Amino acid sequence: MTLSMRTFVAAAVGILSAATSANAITNGVGKLPVMGYNAWNAFACNVNDTLIIQTATYMKEYGLLDVGYNHVNLDDCWAMKSRSSTGEVMSDSIRFPSMKKFTDQLHALGFYAGIYSDSGWFTCAGYPGSFMHEEQDAMTFQSWGFDFLKYDNCAIPFDDIIREGMVGKYQRMADALAAVAKKTGTTLIFSLCEWGWSHVWLWGAQFSHSWRIDDDIAPQWNSISSIINSVSFITQATDYYGRNDLDMLEIGNGDLTYDEAKTHFTVWALVKAPLLIGTNLATISQEMLSILKNQEIIAVNQDPIYGTSISPFRWGINPDWTYDATHPAQYWSGPSENGTVFMLINTLNEPANLSFNLTESPWIRAGIQYSVRDLWTHTNNGTAVRSFTAMNVPAHGVVALLLNEDGNEPAGLVPPCAGQALSQCTAQDGTKYS
C-alpha cells in the first residue's frame, strides 16, 4: 500500500464525524439521487441544442423518463469563449442560440435541465469559469431556466488571489445559489465535481447535494473497480440530500462486458449515487438499455424510507479494510424499504462462488430464516437459513438480492449460534458451546 493509499484509508475510516443528514443542505431539492443524462461521456464538446433535445426525445421513447431518468444535463463547452461587456457568461450563439428556449423544450418534454460551470477562472475545456462571477452566473443560470448545476475544479486561481481552501472555493458558489434562491424562489441542485480532493465526503453535504469522490471514470473494468474500491471506505457519508458521486455511467461505452456493465450499474445504484446516463442513445443496444431500466435496482437507489448507502460487511479476497483497486470489497448489505439488500461482486477474472453467513450483515436477525429475491433475474429463489451461496457468478459479475424475514429458522440447528456469535455462544446456565 502506497503512502497516498494509506492516507486515503486513514481519512476515510475516520468518517464517523462526516457530514450526515443532520447537517446536509436541506433546501427543498435533491433529497434523492439525481437520475438522468449527461452528454460528456458520449459527445464531449461536440454538442448543440438539437442533439440534446433529440437525446431527451430518445429518453422518452425508450421509457427512461418513465422509470425515473428525469434530468438532462449539459456539461462543458456550451458557452462563448468570452463574457459580455458587462460580465455575463453567454451561450454559444450557433450551438445554443437561446438557452431559455432550450430549457423550455426540455421542461415541455418532462425533464429538468442541468448546466455546467467551474469554480476557477476557466472550465476544464477553456470556457469562462465562475470565479469572481458566482452570483452573476447563478442568476444567469436561473434566468435561463436551469434546475441543476455541475461545478468543476479546473483553472484554480493563485493562492494569493483566492486565499481559500477547497471548502471555501466551493462555498462561494453555494452562497451565490442561496442568494439567488432567496431573490427568485428558485433553488438549483448543486453537484460538486472536485474529484475527491480535500476529503470532500467530510464537508460536501454542507454545501451541495452530491460530490465526486474520485478521478474521471473510463469505460474499462479497471476504472470501475477502482471507483468501487474508493467508495467502499466512505459509504457513511451518503444520506438524503447529500451523497457520494461516483461519476457518470459508462454503460453502453467502451469495452465493458454485459456483466461488467451490470456490476457498474448495481454498485452506483445501491450506494445511492446519482445515475446519469452517458452514452449515445441513438446507438445503445437493447441489452445495455435493459440494464439502465432495471426497476428493482432503481427502487433501491430512489428509496423513500432509507437514504443511506449499502456498505461492505466483508472484503472477501482481501482482509477487511484493504485498499485494493483491483479487488475491492465483495460483500455488501444495507436496509431498504422492501427488505435487506445484499450485493456480491466477483472481482476475479473467472467465475466464482460467493458465500456468506446471513448474520455477517448487521441488518439480519439471528434465528430467522429469510426469503431470497434476485433483483436481476426478478425471481424468488427460496429460503436462506443461516447462509447463502451464489453459484458461478461470472467474472466481474454481480449478484443483487433482497432478503425478507420468513419465520423462525428450523429448530435444533447445530451449532446453536451462527457466525461471529459462535465465539461467545452461551447457554442460559452459563455453559459455553464448544
Name the residues annotated as catalytic.
Answer: 152, 216
What whole-number distance in Å separates Cα of residue 371 and Cα of residue 270?
20
159-164 contacts, C-beta under 8 A, 24 or more apart: 162/131
What whole-number distance in Å separates Cα of residue 364 and Cα of residue 368?
8
Q: Which three cell numbers stand for residue 193?
A: 465535481
What whole-number distance in Å separates Cα of residue 153 and Cα of residue 141?
19
Q: Is residue 254 left, alpha or beta, with left meaning phi > 0 and alpha meaning psi from -120 to 50?
A: left
252 phi and psi, to 5 degrees? 100, -5
Count CB atoms within 10 A of the CB of residue 159: 9
| Cα dihedral across residues 296, 301, 303, 305: positive or negative | positive
Among all chains, which residue has been given the C-alpha cell 437525446?
Answer: 55
